[in-house]
Structure 1
């Protein structure tokens, strides 16, 4: 009997890791490839001029904030999509997908208008330096059209993951990465008689690759067996389902805005500490994005896997999966920390930086090793497991207290009142993820995330 139980347990673990790898690896790879697009842009602009990489880093805070809103809509809708998918209600999945598309496009349109019509105002928020404002203003006007495409593309990527076709998003990201690199080479540096556009060249390549990704996603959705939006889905509206969606999305939005605006405020703080600090911090941010792609993939996989089980009322199995993801988060964080510490002395070789900026960069990357360890645990457990059953409020609360009541006030005081050294300010403003760690396990053990959020068809009307 015990031998039979062990065999069942072993088979269950095998199924768990098989499903996790089928989700986490493609999603992680897609995140990595998207991050590589940013990394190659930063690398090529870094070889072009320090001002260009600094200005573009600050200008991209606009799309960063836009993605916080879209991420909340996609994340909240994705929780419901995963549970209804587990329940087997494909009609409801299609209707919710169409709702997410409408919201994502509306958000993209607003930020497109900001970048197109008031770019100089946006740049002045982040830096007082005229040269950076000039470069960033021109860049924002050029890149604005890409915002209209990227929000919709993220919705299609979500559906690919649910349908078990996450590997398709990897193919798309590989092609867009190669396309971006080739166009960047010609437009940034002006090869083969092409005009030398610098930062604007990077903007135009972003527009092209976002359009390519969207067209490819739409084409994939029309293949046999894929779920795609239709007119009935866009007309559909359910007060009850919309309420469910906002019940999950609004805390996610609160968390995203609290974290993201705080992260954007990092750029403001670094921007007021000078070009050296801005350049080093922007490159460190890109390195963090590259390193943490794995934990983001695991987090997305956790949300889908646990959500499907909860939609089927398989609470015991969902609890076991949650426990496994907690262990995985710890080891993932350790690996991320080791990688950043190893890469810290090497990264400076690839950028044209002043000696001061190089010193800042090495020290920032070393401290980031501790930061990404905490970030990995928070991302997998708090942003993956918890929201799968609707417990999205905790992330918003923890971000508010850790960032806005602790890390950011100290960093702002250090910058504008006490005139602390750059590295002291950087450590203070990145301490938020570390402060959250002691509170995760007590919240996990309350099991507020073990909930089935689906409704019957008559209740969804």
Structure 2
């Protein structure tokens, strides 16, 4: 009996210790992610006062930037995975070297992507809508957003290195400041004032560009003044092994992110061709959905960092216990979140300006569907990003993303929209069948434990 009591006491202590670590790592990431989602939502809400066309144009244009951002997201994910594992074995030189490799290689790609999106903006907008006003406004938004991808890439790679080393507060500090600046500039530039004419959609894009530049300057200047390890640690002179290791993770991770983002874009194309009203509703729900996921994004980052550091030290039993803790916690939290949001649905519809006679009949049932499935999306996000990818199981994630989106979700949604011509809420529901397929594939993979790998290589 004493042994049993001791075992229970140890388990409780371990759970409490784990909870403290999750809060320390995940809470700042969740707050920053929530602030970014609020910023995206603020863009849409302020632009929505200009009409459905403006709302739809920002929704479409921002989705193209979102797809491009998945390139940096995949590269940052690979960098964060390796930094966490090298940090776990106290190898700062490799952690800095891989961060520099990720930053340089990604910048080369994103310069080209930025130019393509800008110079072909009109044609890109035509893929998702036939509305000439929406096309013109969206093209203008993309032109004012030219530097955003490069600036954001520098930030996400730096932030992935900071988080991989256990520092989640520094990105939150700088992110919070620039988000406040961004929202302030939004009010000023979109509607005009103090001698500046109202810029509308262009003002939203310019506000984001200016604030992102400010964030880059602040982040690098403060880290340099602190003599941070990202500036003071020497890089490896021979980095071929490290580059090979990084590519092995980054290529499938980036392709997987692009496949998933292209799927999101595919859904937007479907809703866009259903009509401007449907596209406007879909564009309004998207940022709110991101806001809901922000807490779980912080949890998945905490999971990835803790797992990565344990795997880098070859502590596989501990890594498995960590993974079980996160799966149980996210499942419970996801159900509670969905229930809470369901009972607050009317207030949420009012907050999102979706209460008009034209928008409410589409938005209300769609939000009901979202709240019923939110636990599933949260659980998938943590299993995929927090567990499988933390152990480098990125090739499987690539196959899974392609199959669930392009063999199931997108074709089924398109068939329902254009052949069966179902109502908006049913099409929105069918879009979420992708999540059911993901869960079936990913949970089975998680149970097989293929992800429990030490990814570090001998570099010195």
- 1:36 Cα shift? 1.0
Deviation at residue 116 of structure 1 after TM alignment? 2.6
Residues 224, 434 of structure 1: alpha-carbon distance in 2 compared, 3 angstrom cutoff: same
Contact 1:50 1:352 in 2 (8 A): no
- Aligned partner (choices 23, 35, 38) of residue 33 of structure 1: 35
Question: Quick one: structure 1 residues 429 and 5, their matched pair in 2 at CA, closer, same or farther if it must change by over 3 Å?
Answer: closer
Q: Tell me, in whole angstroms, the C-alpha distance in 2 between the residues paired with 1:229 and 1:342.
A: 49
* Shift, 1:311, TM fit: 0.6
Q: CA deviation at 1:49?
A: 1.8
Partner Cα separation in structure 1 for residue 313 and residue 177 of structure 2: 37
Distance 1:21 1:269, change over 3 A: same
Query: Structure 2: how far apart are the matches of 1:224 and 1:10?
Result: 38
Question: Residues of 2 paired with 1:132 and 1:339: CA distance?
Answer: 35
Matches within 5 A, 1:34-433: 34-224=36-226, 226-229=228-231, 233=235, 236=237, 238-351=239-352, 354-433=356-435
Alignment check: 8 A CA contact 1:66 1:107 kept: no
Q: Which moved more, 1:353-362 or 1:173-182?
A: 353-362
Deviations along 1:100-153, one digit per CA (max 9) or x if unpaired, are: 111232233122212331111111111111010010011110111222211111
Q: Which whole-Å CA distance do the structure 2 matches of 1:100 and 1:199 have between them? A: 32
**In the alignment, is the contact (CA less than 8 A) between 2:56 and 2:134 conserved in 1?**
yes
Of 24, 27, 31, which residue of structure 1 is paired with 2:26? 24
Contact persistence 1:48–1:189 (CA under 8 A):
no
**Are the counterparts in 2 of residues 85 and 93 from structure 1 also a CA contact under 8 Å?**
yes
Residue 231 and residue 172 in structure 1: after superposition, are their counterparts in 2 closer, same or farther (change >3 A)?
closer
Supply the distance in 1 between the matched residues of 2:267 and 2:12 (Cα, whole angstroms): 46
Unaligned runs of 5+ in 1: none
Quote the Cα distance in structure 2 between the aligned partners of 1:390 and 1:351: 39
Pair 122,232 (structure 1): closer, same or farther in 2 beyond 3 Å: farther
CA contact (8 A) 2:77 2:253 kept: yes
Per-residue CA distance 1:362-408 (angstroms, 9 max, x = gap): 12111111332111001111221111111123322222222211121
TM-score, normalised relative to structure 1: 0.94
Q: Is the 8 A contact 2:312 2:454 kept in 1?
A: yes
Contact persistence 1:57–1:282 (CA under 8 A)? yes
SS in structure 2 at match of 1:143: coil
Q: Deviations over 1:264-302 (max 9, x none)?
A: 111111110111101111111111100110111111111
State the Cα RMSD in Å: 2.0
- Find the counterpart in structure 2 of residue 448 from structure 1: 450
Instruction: Tell me the CA shift for residue 70 of structure 1.
Output: 0.7
The whole-number CA distance in structure 1 between the counterparts of 2:232 and 2:106 is 16
With over 3 angstroms needed to count, the CA separation of the structure-2 counterparts of 1:332 and 1:393, relative to structure 1, is farther
The CA distance in 2 between the partners of 1:224 and 1:175, in whole Å, is 18
The offset of 1:252, in angstroms, is: 1.8
Q: Contact (CA 8 Å) 1:295, 1:332: kept in 2 or not?
A: no
Change (3 A) 1:208 1:342: farther
SS of structure 1 residue aligned to 2:147: helix
Q: State the aligned residue count.
A: 457
Q: Could you list the per-position Cα deviations for residues 180-208 of structure 1 after superposition, in whole angstroms to 9, with x for gaps in the alignment? A: 12111111112344201110110110001
Return the alpha-carbon distance in structure 2 between the equivalents of residues 214 and 146 of structure 1: 11
Distance 2:26 2:336 in 1: 16
**Could you say if the C-alpha distance between residues 208 and 302 of structure 1 is closer, same or farther in structure 2, counting changes exceeding 3 Å?**
same
Q: Any idea what the Cα deviations from partners look like across 1:57-83, whole Å, max 9, x if unmatched?
A: 101122111111111111112111111
Distance 1:12 1:184, change over 3 A: same
Rounded Cα–Cα distance in structure 1 between residues aligned with 2:353 and 2:323: 45
Which consecutive residues of structure 2, in runs of 5 or more, have no partner in the other structure? none
Whole-angstrom CA distance in 2 between matches of 1:450 and 1:127: 45
The TM-score, its normalising length taken from structure 2, stands at 0.94
Seen in structure 2, the aligned counterparts of structure 1 residues 147 and 327 have a Cα distance that, compared at 3 Å, is same
Alpha-carbon offset, residue 435 of structure 1: 2.8
SS at match of 1:48: coil
Match of 2:16 among 10, 14, 17: 14
Of 390-399 and 220-229, deviating more is 220-229
